């Protein structure tokens, strides 16, 4: 299963393309199945309908945990580093993690959770987050993790969409020097979700929080009485494993659905080949489990491979900007996977915080979530990797479930700012504006995938048509990624960024329409248009042009209200970086907002606005320019 040389990569890749079924069948055979599949693959991209390992039965937690007990029961599965470096860390062996997962699974079961039920998990980065995810999978419940930075309104939208019966949450959370309420946010969200039967509350801060009689249950008071064993539910390969909400071009986030068998096979395979972990090595992915990277490469991928995965509760800059490097030295981390935004933010503190630590344990570095600029790549390579660690630049998406295009550490070469080559089984193509495949190299186009892979999106929860429309309708017969990419003369891919109305802020996706909808709820707002602009740390920042009644009056208050509306509807992570109050927006005669012009203004390229004569009122551009210059 593991590829060890460039030659073998080429050979395996060719095999995977010439006979994908045989290729994946072989890899799938290395897992524990309760029953073998009847058919490896059944697919069409028109409905779309994609089914891998049909007829196969399994439980992913048996593959993450039970399978390792005999040989690795006493090996560390999870290391948890708390927010405060003075507090005690926690470690779980595979045996202990299995027991904790079973306890939580029994607790969920005792609360009436059954196979197929949706459970919303809104927890900070504590071990119980991972335990809850696996506990759901153990009993066949579908987890829907919501990042603990999302607002009450966002939780409510997601709980309603998934019709979750149970929510798992905590009293509050630690974030650097601050503590924040969590349960209170859930309580507010659930005011509009009366169908939620149970809220399981974990004590993280030791706060007294109001508990609703008949609905809320303390995890701490009930968990120890739960048996430490439960049989793993038998799941069909195509049964739902989880829903994860992500933003798209339209206003409402969609629930990306992943299924048990294919997701397991693909995340395990890609973790092993991209990061090339050796036994006893320590692997650290800094992503929150609230995002897909946390799902696939903090929880499932490493555990499926019997690796030691590190989870960090805190932030990179507290108590100081050396916190990441201190953790690497403390545990002897060998493989480190983070986001360009974190690298750029730490780079801004200079080399001093790095020089306090040796970082000699590092062997492999990784990046994910957004294009990494060459300057950040070089800083990472020189100052963190000491010019000896390969950097895997992993391109993928919530919808792809696992890494799609990336070099493989020490096996295929890296190239600054390039995700490089497709992993075995992945068939990317670049399409031109007419939807034709561009065959040659040294080109640029819309990135699509022409053949299914095991962990691809199956549907958008409760709305299959939306899945078809978003990913399979732009270019018939292809999965459309929404990204633009270049391919160099050697066939290496370089991802340019989104070509749709999605902004990638610090590696997190937001639809412009989603932010506009939130802004439009603020008092006195008549209309708004949001675009992305280059941001030194975040990659892209959010730039909002907003028409309000009487922009000259109470401008500061209007701006504050707009910020507040976004925080309320989405969360602090989507707060606009710039808000300009304007009299009008550049529109065509048919009423369409010309975002191209707004993007140029946001980028500060005032001389390159292009033709503005087709605008209904070219004067609005002058008005906007007068405000931003």
- For the bound state, the minimum distance from the C-beta of residue 508 to ligand PRX, rounded and expressed in Å, comes to 6
Say which DSSP state 615 is in: B
Q: What's the CA gap between 155 and 15, in Å, rounded?
A: 44
Start-to-end CA distance of the chain, whole Å, equals 57
Q: What's the CA gap between 297 and 267, in Å, rounded?
A: 7
Q: Which residues 6+ apart lie within 8 Å of 196 measured at CB?
A: 159, 164, 165, 166, 167, 190, 215
- What strand order describes the sheet that includes 479-487? 428-431, 443-449, 479-487, 493-498
CB atoms closer than 10 angstroms to residue 556: 7
Q: Which stretch binds ligand PRX (CB under 6 A): 232-240, 458-466, 477-485, 560-568?
A: 477-485
Q: Which stretch binds ligand PRX (CB under 6 A): 37-45, 126-134, 434-442, 496-504?
A: 496-504
By CB under 6 A, tell whether 368 contacts ligand PRX. Answer: yes
Bridge partners for 216 per DSSP: 199
By CB under 6 A, tell whether 397 contacts ligand PRX. Answer: yes
Instruction: Residue count of the chain, please give it.
Output: 629
- For the bound state, the minimum distance from the C-beta of residue 294 to ligand PRX, rounded and expressed in Å, comes to 9
- For the bound state, the minimum distance from the C-beta of residue 296 to ligand PRX, rounded and expressed in Å, comes to 8
Of these, 483, 501, 514, 516, which contacts ligand PRX (CB under 6 A)?
483
By CB under 6 A, tell whether 370 contacts ligand PRX. Answer: yes
Whichever of 532 and 586 has its CB closer to ligand PRX, that residue is 532
Q: What's the CA gap between 365 and 336, in Å, rounded?
A: 5
Of these, 395, 475, 510, 543, which contacts ligand PRX (CB under 6 A)?
395
Q: Which stretch binds ligand PRX (CB under 6 A): 13-21, 376-384, 504-512, 618-626?
A: 504-512
Specify the pairing of strand 49-54 against strand 39-44: antiparallel
DSSP string spanning 127-158?
Answer: HHHHHHHHHHHHHTPEEEE--TTB-HHHHHHH
Q: What's the CA gap between 296 and 304, in Å, rounded?
A: 10
Q: Which stretch binds ligand PRX (CB under 6 A): 38-46, 138-146, 378-386, 490-498?
A: 490-498
Whichever of 193 and 289 has its CB closer to ligand PRX, that residue is 289
By CB under 6 A, tell whether 504 contacts ligand PRX. Answer: yes
- For the bound state, the minimum distance from the C-beta of residue 469 to ligand PRX, rounded and expressed in Å, comes to 17
- For the bound state, the minimum distance from the C-beta of residue 420 to ligand PRX, rounded and expressed in Å, comes to 10
Of these, 246, 286, 338, 420, which contacts ligand PRX (CB under 6 A)?
246
Q: Contact letters (x/-) for ligand PRX, 414-443, by CB under 6 A?
A: -----x------------------------
Q: What's the CA gap between 547 and 524, in Å, rounded?
A: 9
Whichever of 200 and 368 has its CB closer to ligand PRX, that residue is 368
CB atoms closer than 10 angstroms to residue 154: 25
By CB under 6 A, tell whether 503 contacts ligand PRX. Answer: no
By CB under 6 A, tell whether 347 contacts ligand PRX. Answer: no
Q: What's the CA gap between 271 and 382, in Å, rounded?
A: 24
Whichever of 328 and 403 has its CB closer to ligand PRX, that residue is 403
Specify the pairing of strand 254-259 against strand 459-460: antiparallel
CB atoms closer than 10 angstroms to residue 176: 14
Q: Which stretch binds ligand PRX (CB under 6 A): 300-308, 378-386, 394-402, 455-463?
A: 394-402
Element containing residue 40 per DSSP (H, E): strand 39-44
By CB under 6 A, tell whether 394 contacts ligand PRX. Answer: yes
Whichever of 49 and 373 has its CB closer to ligand PRX, that residue is 373
Of these, 314, 369, 424, 576, which contacts ligand PRX (CB under 6 A)?
369
Q: Which of 197, 195, 178 is nearest to 83 (CA)?
A: 178
By CB under 6 A, tell whether 398 contacts ligand PRX. Answer: yes
Helix (H, G, I), strand (E, B) or coil at 431: strand
> Taking a C-beta distance cutoff of 8 angstroms, is the pair 192, 151 a contact?
no
Q: Which of 520, 585, 604, 595 is nearest to 558 (CA)?
A: 520
Whichever of 79 and 485 has its CB closer to ligand PRX, that residue is 485
CA angle 474, 476, 479 (to 5 degrees): 70
Of these, 393, 501, 514, 516, which contacts ligand PRX (CB under 6 A)?
393
CB atoms closer than 10 angstroms to residue 387: 9
By CB under 6 A, tell whether 172 contacts ligand PRX. Answer: no
Q: Which stretch binds ligand PRX (CB under 6 A): 300-308, 362-370, 519-527, 556-564?
A: 362-370
- For the bound state, the minimum distance from the C-beta of residue 284 to ligand PRX, rounded and expressed in Å, comes to 16
Of these, 497, 521, 527, 568, which contacts ligand PRX (CB under 6 A)?
497
**Which residues would be at the binding site for ligand PRX (CB under 6 A)?**
246, 292-293, 368-371, 393-398, 419, 481-483, 495, 497-498, 504, 507, 509
């Amino acid at each position: 299963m593991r590829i060890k040389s460039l030659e073998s990569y080429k050979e395996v890749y060719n095999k995977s393309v010439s006979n994908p079924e045989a290729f994946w069948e072989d890899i799938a055979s290395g897992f524990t199945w309760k029953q073998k599949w009847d058919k490896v693959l059944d697919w069409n991209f028109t409905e779309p309908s994609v089914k891998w390992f049909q007829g196969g039965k399994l439980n992913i937690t048996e593959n993450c945990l039970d399978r390792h007990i005999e040989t690795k029961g006493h090996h560390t599965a999870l290391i948890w580093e708390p927010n405060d470096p003075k507090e005690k860390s926690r470690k779980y062996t595979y045996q202990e993690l299995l027991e904790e997962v079973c306890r939580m699974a029994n607790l969920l079961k005792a609360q009436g959770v059954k196979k197929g039920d949706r459970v919303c998990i809104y927890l900070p980065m504590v071990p119980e987050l991972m335990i809850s995810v696996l506990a759901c999978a153990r009993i066949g419940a579908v987890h829907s993790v919501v990042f603990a930075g999302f607002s009450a309104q966002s939780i409510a939208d997601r709980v309603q969409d998934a019709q979750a019966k149970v929510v798992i949450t905590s009293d509050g959370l630690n974030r650097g020097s601050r503590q924040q309420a969590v349960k209170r946010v859930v309580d507010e969200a659930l005011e509009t979700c009366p169908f939620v039967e149970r809220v399981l509350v974990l004590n993280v801060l030791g706060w007294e929080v109001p508990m609703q009689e008949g609905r809320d249950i303390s995890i701490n008071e009930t968990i120890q009485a739960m048996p430490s064993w439960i049989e793993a539910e038998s799941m069909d390969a195509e049964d739902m494993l989880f829903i994860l909400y992500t933003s798209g071009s339209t206003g409402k986030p969609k629930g990306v659905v992943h299924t048990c068998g294919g997701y397991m096979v693909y995340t395990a395979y890609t973790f092993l080949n991209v990061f090339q972990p050796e036994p006893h090595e320590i692997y650290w992915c800094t992503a929150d489990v609230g995002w897909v990277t946390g799902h696939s490469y903090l929880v499932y991928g490493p555990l499926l491979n019997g690796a030691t995965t590190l989870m960090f509760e805190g932030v990179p800059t507290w108590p100081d900007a050396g916190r990441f490097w201190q953790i690497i030295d403390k545990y002897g981390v060998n493989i480190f996977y983070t986001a360009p935004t974190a690298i750029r933010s730490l780079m801004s503190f200079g080399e001093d915080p790095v020089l306090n630590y040796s970082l000699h344990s590092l062997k492999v570095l990784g990046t994910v979530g957004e294009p990494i600029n060459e300057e950040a790549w070089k800083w990472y390579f020189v100052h963190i990797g000491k010019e000896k660690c390969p950097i895997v630049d992993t391109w993928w998406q919530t919808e792809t479930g696992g890494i799609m295009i990336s070099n493989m550490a020490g096996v295929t070469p890296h190239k600054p700012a390039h995700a490089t080559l497709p992993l075995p089984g992945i068939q990317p193509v670049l399409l031109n504006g007419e939807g034709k495949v561009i065959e040659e190299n040294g080109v640029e186009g819309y990135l699509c995938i022409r053949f299914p892979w095991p962990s691809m999106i199956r549907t958008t929860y409760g709305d299959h048509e939306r899945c078809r429309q978003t990913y399979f309708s732009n270019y018939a017969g292809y999965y459309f990624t929404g990204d633009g990419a270049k391919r160099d003369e050697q066939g290496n891919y370089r991802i340019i960024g989104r070509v749709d109305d999605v902004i990638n802020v610090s590696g997190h996706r937001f639809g412009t329409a989603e932010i506009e909808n939130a802004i439009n709820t603020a008092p006195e707002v008549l209309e708004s248009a949001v675009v992305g602009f280059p941001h030194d740390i975040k990659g892209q920042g959010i730039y909002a042009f907003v028409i309000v009644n009487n922009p000259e009056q109470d401008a500061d208050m209007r701006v504050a209200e707009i910020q507040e509306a976004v925080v309320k509807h989405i969360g602090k992570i989507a707060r606009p970086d710039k808000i300009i109050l304007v009299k009008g927006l550049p529109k065509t005669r048919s009423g369409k907002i010309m975002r191209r012009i707004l993007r140029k203004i946001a980028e500060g390229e005032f001389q390159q606005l292009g033709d503005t004569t087709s605008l209904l009122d070219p004067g609005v551009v002058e008005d906007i320019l007068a405000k931003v210059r």
